Amino acid sequence: MTISLPATAAALSVVLAALCLLVVPAAGFYLPGVAPNDFEKKDHLPVKVNKLTSIKTQLPYSFYSLPFCKPDTIVDSAENLGEVLRGDRIENSPYVFEMRVPQMCQIVCKISVGEKEGKVLKEKIEDEYRVNMILDNLPLVVPIQRVDQEGAYFYQHGFHVGAKGQYSGSKDEKYFIHNHLSFTVKYHRDAQRDVSRIVAFEVKPYSVKHEYGQWNDKKTHLTTCDPNAKRIITSSDSPLEVEAGKDIVFTYDVDFKESDIKWASRWDSYLLMTDDQIHWFSIVNSLMIVLFLSGMVAMIMLRTLYRDISKYNQLETQEEAQEETGWKLVHGDVFRPPANSDWLCVYVGTGVQFFGMMLVTMVFAVLGFLSPSNRGGLMTAMLLLWVFMGLLAGYSSSRLYKLFKGSEWKNIALRTAFTFPGSVFTVFFFLNILIWGQKSSGAVPFTTMFALVLLWFGISVPLVFVGSYLGFKKPAIEDPVKTNKIPRQVPEQAWYMNSIFSILIGGILPFGAVFIELFFILTSIWLHQFYYIFGFLFLVFLILIVTCAEISIVLCYFQLCSEDYLWWWRSYLTSGSSALYLFLYATFYFYTKLEITKFVSAILYFGYMLIASYAFFALTGTIGFYACLMFTRLIYSSVKIE
């Protein structure tokens, strides 16, 4: 017999190191063809309001669910699928701006607070809800002075509905509402055409107990701020307490400041993070560690296999190969179909569907198609790609099914089309009922739910069947060695080769490749921050693929050397077990970083993280499975049985 093994994996670490140099962070730039809005002096600037958000409840609410000033007619903006699923509710507002025309102490309206309104306001202040607004597609932010850099700021998205505090000499906590907003609109001016482009939208909220004589709608003269005397509010010495039976006067200032920031770079300030240096250092450090481990694993694998090759070739030369040992001994059973092979085909197809969706999504994100300026674009793209990748899911599951000598391809296609989406939809529907019960705007409307079901049954399911049909029509993949009719007995294994132990150990390295990046992803989702470093995310994704493949191959090789040929499911579960560590880390993140107190909000968090972990299991498990499948076919195809 002769054995040959191409040494292509040796250059793996070099290729990844080169990718480190090539991948750059994707900032909030705009693609060619996206036209900016040019405004002349005194042009009308429509200010829109968005949902109320809180990191303590994770339940968004409509802006007008609180007793705020309303326009004569509330008009909902057209929203894409991703925005609806995120709970965005974009509507017009009573705030009226004119380009480069400053305004001071403009009265919006007066609201009388009843028992119900006062209770709702206090609840939202207690839960630290923030008000979100939009101007020219830019979100409203509150500039906060950075401690580490003098004159530098970072932005918090939206302003708090109000604040809790105490009067001097009193221990009773009171609730104060932010009823005066001091807006600042920064613009970049084109001197030649005398037009301006908006590059920032900032606010400083105040709680002010306005004083006035007789109320006369918006013509009332306020003694607390006088636009004619140019007396503006710079502090809240007399804050407005939320009390039933009292009135709230809402006012605002707006100032316009010229800026050197160009329109194409206006998102850069929004995307700056408070811990950017730690962020970059952590990512680079994590990448270097994983690259080193990946290189070591590849070298160990190659050296071990070459030692086996030399041993077998030497034995054949000396005609001493009286009895085969190690992985070669199980060549007659290694390609025997596993137990529950149908379900393995289903989960491999689901993993391929996820892999295709993630790969294409990240490519589009790196190219800038899914920048933060395109609200809801990322979620919309992922949903649509998942639907269309059903073709790959059906194809890969039926190809593997035919390898296992199966004949009922329609049954496999049906399970592939409904197993994962059905379980996720069930959890999602249950969570949506909880959100609906809280009267939150995050509850998906019936029409959107119907659209999701239509995408599933109308596009995804047919594509899975088409892919399954095409995959089953192709000739079956031939095994490199024949399978014995009678299965051999698996010898008793050492404790460290126990299936549960090796599976749990196998998931540590893939999780280690992503856990640093996972922290920032969770922060962006649950603490309502922008995530924008898609370049590094793509690199981490590539390293995840490598580590899943390598750890699965290593443990599969050790398993075969122990004469245990039941590798099919274990190869899937070895790298797929990283999903368990992901869920455990999400639990750790919940108790250490989040301040969620409501039971419903906790259920939502763990429900969505369970879905994410389930998807991560299918993705990483499929990568490990295909790596082991190619590895076993490679080494056994090189063995010539006499």
- The mean pLDDT value for 287-316 works out to 65
For residue 321, pLDDT beyond 70: no
Q: 489 φ, ψ to 5°?
A: -80, 135
23 versus 524: which is more confidently predicted?
Answer: 524
For residue 616, pLDDT beyond 80: yes
User: What pLDDT is recorded for position 603?
Assistant: 94
- The mean pLDDT value for 386-402 works out to 94
Which pTM value belongs to this model?
Answer: 0.85
Taking the domains of the chain in order of start, what are their residue ranges? Answer: 43-270, 339-478, 508-641
- The mean pLDDT value for 390-398 works out to 95
Min mean pLDDT across 253-257, 265-269, 530-534 is at: 530-534
- The mean pLDDT value for 67-95 works out to 86
Residue 202's pLDDT band (cuts 50, 70, 90): very high
pLDDT in tens, 240-260: 888 888 889 899 999 999 988
Residue 32's pLDDT band (cuts 50, 70, 90): very low
For residue 320, pLDDT beyond 80: no
For residue 628, pLDDT beyond 80: yes
For residue 25, pLDDT beyond 70: no
Residue entry with tokens 């609806």: 84
pLDDT in tens, 102-134: 988 888 888 988 899 899 999 999 999 999 999
Residues 6+ apart with CB under 8 A from 310: none
CB-based burial label for 405 (10 Å; 0-12, 13-18, 19+): exposed
CB-based burial label for 338 (10 Å; 0-12, 13-18, 19+): middle
Bridging pattern class, strands 247-258 and 180-190? parallel
User: What pLDDT is recorded for position 18?
Assistant: 40
Mean of all residue pLDDT scores within the chain: 82
* Amino acid of residue 426: T
- The mean pLDDT value for 466-490 works out to 85
Closest by CA position to 83, among listed 372, 433, 365: 372
pLDDT in tens, 337-380: 898 999 999 999 999 999 999 999 999 888 878 777 777 888 89
User: What pLDDT is recorded for position 10?
Assistant: 36
Distance CA 546, CA 291 (A): 9
Distance CA 154, CA 447 (A): 38
